[in-house]
Amino acid sequence: MAAPTATASLNASTYQAGDPMTLAVRYGDADTRPVTVTIVVTDAQGNSSAPVRVTAVIDPLTLAVTDDSGRTWTRASDNGSVAVYQAVA
Amino acid sequence: MPRVTVTVRDSGGRTATTSVSYTVAPPVLGGYYLSGNADPTADMAGGNFRSLTQYRSFADGYVFPGYQRPWLVELGKAGVQMNMVLELKHYGAPTFGPQSFTVDGTSYTVPAPAMTIQQRPGTTWPRAYGYGQVLAGQCDGLLARALSQYRTLGFGVNIQLASELDTDHEFGTTEAGKAYTWAESDARAVQAMTYIVNWFRARPLPAGTTFSVGVGGFDRACFQRTHPETLMAKLNYLQWNVYATSPTHTALARFRRTKDWAVADLGPVALSRPVIIAEWGVRVAEIPDQARWIGTVPAAIATLNAERGPRIVRTNYFNSGWGTLSPKSSGLAALRAAYATRPYV
């Protein structure tokens, strides 16, 4: 299994107290794959059910964000490769 | 410096960790200046005034705290950050001949100021100690006298050399009978300012001492000429002044003008320095409702500080000249309200 990768960037290096802060996290893992499993049930007479599709992710990733100043970061969006978190300075 | 850390974990327990540091800047300091270097204590009392501009001539025997200005020591000890503008300009005492005096047991004789500045046609040109005189060491006694007095203050200040080099040089200068263009004067001033900062930095200074050079900031080429990286490496702040003198002037546009030139024209050392607005003001003749304009300043500063480039960290209202508050009561009330607003709190 491959190890995940992550890079993080803030929208500024210095904030005034009260400013909105935005953190963008780009992340991934070579093993992480979306898969779709399609199931069709067939009986002895050859009758088949309608196909049923199930989606799953192989080796899913979880993100954790911590801040040593105690600031709370809230996830605003996450598309599977870029997650955006927000806080207040 | 706070740090945010991101950990990505896969189902097998493998992780990737990365972190980013950031700074939360302290509030911008709201400040003041009262005409004639007068005692501003009453005007500042009860308001969030945390910064003050003062003007002194090196020619004056009382640079720190200034002649009959014990209140400056009180304000400084109370934590008001002082921006002391020290000028080679002679303030026009009746005599501007040579001076002889003793500083800490050493005798000095300083020749008469040999330069004229602010050579606007039709006006009397002020005298100043010449950049050549500074570089020749002839003004060292003035520096020694100022430093000796400074050491008795009990707190560190920002020393802003010159008030506005662009105003001083706009119509050229003359030293010892030789005329210099605006650009030549800027180049000579940079050498002299470098000499003075080096002179001070070579000696023990009160903790917290910082330096800047003064400009009005109204001329882009001059601003660039007076801020070479070699000089900026010795300075702690950028500085410019901001005035609204037309009904069309917005706070954001006026505070932005010189910043935009700085970002476009100056080097990385200069742009790493925060900004002191030593003077800002609203001219009542064109903008009768000074209070309303003042009320737009906090948002303008917050906007500029959220953009890339040097951060504005002090803004001192110039209640004199173009900035005279009229009526004073409503102007002061507006200042108090502004300085009680983010980013001043």
pLDDT at site B112: 96
Q: What's the pLDDT score for residue A57?
A: 78
B176 contacts B237 by C-beta, under 8 angstroms: no
Contact B4 A8 (CB under 8 A): yes
A68: pLDDT strictly greater than 70: yes
Our CA-based measurement puts residue A53 at a distance from the nearest CA of chain B, in whole angstroms, of 23
Instruction: Give the nearest partner residue to A60 out of B7, B11, B14, using CB atoms.
Output: B11
In the structure, what pLDDT confidence band is assigned to residue B96 with cuts at 50, 70 and 90?
confident
Predicted pLDDT at B94 = 63
Q: What structural domains does chain B harbor?
A: 26-339 (3.20.20.80)
DSSP string, A18-81: T-EEEEEEEEE-TT-EEEEEEE--B-TT--BPPPEEEEEEES-EEEEEEETT----EEEEE-SS
Question: With 80 as the cut, is the pLDDT of residue B95 above it?
Answer: no
Coil, strand or helix: which one is B107?
strand
What percentage of chain B carries pLDDT values higher than 70?
Answer: 99
Cβ–Cβ gap B22/A59 under 8 Å = no
Residues paired with B276 in a beta bridge = B239, B314
Beta bridge partners of residue A5, listed in sequence order: A28
The beta-carbon neighbor of A14 closest among B5, B23, B342 is B23
B111-162 confidence digits (pLDDT tens): 999 999 999 999 999 999 999 999 999 999 999 999 999 999 999 999 999 9
| pLDDT at residue A13 is higher than 90 | no
Inform me whether the pLDDT recorded for A66 exceeds 80: yes
Asked whether the whole model's pTM tops 0.90, one would answer no
* Chain mean pLDDT for chain A: 91
> Is the ipTM, as predicted for this complex, more than 0.90?
no
Task: Please tell me the least confidently modeled range out of A39-48, B61-70, B89-98.
Answer: B89-98
pLDDT of the residue at A12: 87
Q: Is the pLDDT of residue B93 over 80?
A: no
Give contacts of A29 with chain B, Cβ < 8 Å.
Answer: 8, 10
- Picking from B339, B342, B340, the residue whose alpha carbon sits closest to that of residue B316 is B339
User: How high does pLDDT run on average in chain B?
Assistant: 97
